Amino acid sequence: MNGLNETAFERRFRRADMKDLPTILRNHEHARELMAANGNPTQWGHTFPRGEVVRNDIAKRRTLSSAVASSRW
């Protein structure tokens, strides 16, 4: 437990847009690093998913983004 009141947080999803692209690409890079560090370096390799595929998915509204909202805000 991280010491936070977990019931005070809510996750919401929305369609991603191009301003989300840098965060999405960073998340993918982090996922590749985690997989490699935990013995799974080949599932996504160094380039999956490709940036142009992610951009196309966002443009075609096939990608969701999430945010965590706090009732304390």
pLDDT-based confidence at 65, cuts 50/70/90?
confident
Q: How many domains does the chain have?
A: 1
Kindly state the tokens that stand for 26: 């960073």
Nearest Cα neighbor of 55 from 17, 28, 26 is: 17
Is the pLDDT reported for residue 7 higher than 70?
Answer: no
Q: Is the Cβ–Cβ distance between 20 and 26 less than 8 Å?
A: no
The more confident residue out of 66 and 42 is 42
Residue 25 lies in a domain: yes
pLDDT at position 22 is 94
Residue 1 lies in a domain: no
Q: Which domain holds residue 63?
A: 6-70
pTM above 0.85, yes or no: no
Q: What is the mean pLDDT of residues 52-73?
A: 81
The three-state (H, E, C) secondary structure of 2-40, written as one string: CCCCHHHEEEEEEECCHHHHHHHHHHHHHHHHHHHHCCC
Residue 21 lies in a domain: yes
Nearest Cα neighbor of 58 from 36, 10, 25, 26 is: 25
